[in-house]
């Protein structure tokens, strides 16, 4: 590696993230795995590159046209159960990328993951820097989930979840827990968490002896999953929504106005009335945090009565842990 590459230019992971090839964390994992070359040599973490440098990913050159930062786009996808948040699956299962609009430049970067059996709000963007900031633990961005738990949940179990439980990859806690109804042996709760470790919400309930049988993300930061967006459908964020997200992440807001755009897979629109009723029960209250400062809505074991499900106040951070990232094909090649 030349001194020029070491001491000047932009960091390699930032350049590729800005080109929409992935989040910085993803690209750092590719560098560590030896998948990226610069001028014929294996790239190193922290390496800086110049516009004239020749970059290859998995042996394929990255063209200067591709290196130009794509137009920033951010969308919400209402993910159904049974789809993977990955670009290709060796078992041939459905992936979310099969139903997203094609891009002329860049690629869709998922902001976090939802596992195969989870549903709800999935943010995707072409902006690697925005994706990195939204996922980074230091940003303390809230994720809200509607969780259906089987069996009776005690006050002691709820207190454990808000005070903190020990998982195999470190401690974890919910910022808020609000009961939102249910019948029979199932109860619904809305929970807020500040990080996105693999299957973290499910594992936390398991740690206190409770079983989750439905899990749906309903909010990421300031973006809510609105009831008008049906399962399997997507829509682009409008200008006010996008700018609120950008400003919260310390990025410059946009001035251009965006026309509403939406689409997606209609295969889920033909469900039976029973399925539709189940979906409505999933959603729970439209504004689960309304009245959360009252005694009734406070989380067990909490006495501060904090409000506003956006960003946590300083001094309440959980121990940061490394988020697990899956590998993916950086070229976004369409499966045949």
Catalytic annotation, residues? 115
Q: Are 149 and 187 within 8 A, CB to CB?
A: yes
Residues 6 or more apart in contact with residue 283 via CB below 8 angstroms: 146, 216, 218, 227
What gap in Å lies between CA 272 and CA 237, rounded to an integer?
30
The torsion of the CA quartet 270, 110, 66, 34, rounded to 10 degrees, works out to -130
The DSSP bridge pattern shows strands 233-236 and 223-224 to be unpaired
Nearest to 327 by CA among 26, 62, 96, 125: 26
- 26 Cα distance to chain centroid: 13
What gap in Å lies between CA 232 and CA 261, rounded to an integer?
15
What gap in Å lies between CA 113 and CA 196, rounded to an integer?
8
Q: Is 285 helix (H, G, I), strand (E, B) or coil?
A: coil
Residues 6 or more apart in contact with residue 39 via CB below 8 angstroms: 2, 5, 53, 54
């Amino acid at each position: 590696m030349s001194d020029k590459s070491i001491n000047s230019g932009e960091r390699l992971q930032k350049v590729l993230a800005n080109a929409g090839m992935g989040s910085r964390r993803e690209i750092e994992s590719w560098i560590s795995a030896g998948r990226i070359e610069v001028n014929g040599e294996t790239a190193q973490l922290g390496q800086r590159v110049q516009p004239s440098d020749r970059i290859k990913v998995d042996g394929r050159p990255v063209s200067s046209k591709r290196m130009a930062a794509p137009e920033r786009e951010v969308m919400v996808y209402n993910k159904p159960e049974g789809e993977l948040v990955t670009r290709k699956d060796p078992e041939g299962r459905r992936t979310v990328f099969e139903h997203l609009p094609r891009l002329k430049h860049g690629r869709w970067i998922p902001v976090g993951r939802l596992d195969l059996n989870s549903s709800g709000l999935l943010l995707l963007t072409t902006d690697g820097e925005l994706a990195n900031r939204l996922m980074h633990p230091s940003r303390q961005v809230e994720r809200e989930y509607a969780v259906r738990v089987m069996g009776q949940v005690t006050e002691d179990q709820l207190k454990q979840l808000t005070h903190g439980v020990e998982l195999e990859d470190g401690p974890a806690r919910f910022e808020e827990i609000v009961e939102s109804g249910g019948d029979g042996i199932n109860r619904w709760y809305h929970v807020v968490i500040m990080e996105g470790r693999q299957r973290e919400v499910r594992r936390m309930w398991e740690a206190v002896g409770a079983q989750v049988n439905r899990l749906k993300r309903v909010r990421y930061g300031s973006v809510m999953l609105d009831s008008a967006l049906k399962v399997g459908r997507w829509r682009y964020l409008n200008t006010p929504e996008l700018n609120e997200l950008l400003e919260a992440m310390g990025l410059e807001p946009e001035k251009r106005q965006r026309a509403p755009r939406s689409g997606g897979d209609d295969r889920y629109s033909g469900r039976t009335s029973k399925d539709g009723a189940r979906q409505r029960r999933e959603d729970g209250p439209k504004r689960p945090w309304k009245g959360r400062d009252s005694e009734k809505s406070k989380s067990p074991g909490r006495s501060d009565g904090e409000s506003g499900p956006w960003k946590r106040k300083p001094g309440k951070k959980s121990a940061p842990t490394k988020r697990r990232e899956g590998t993916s094909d950086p070229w976004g090649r369409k499966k045949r």
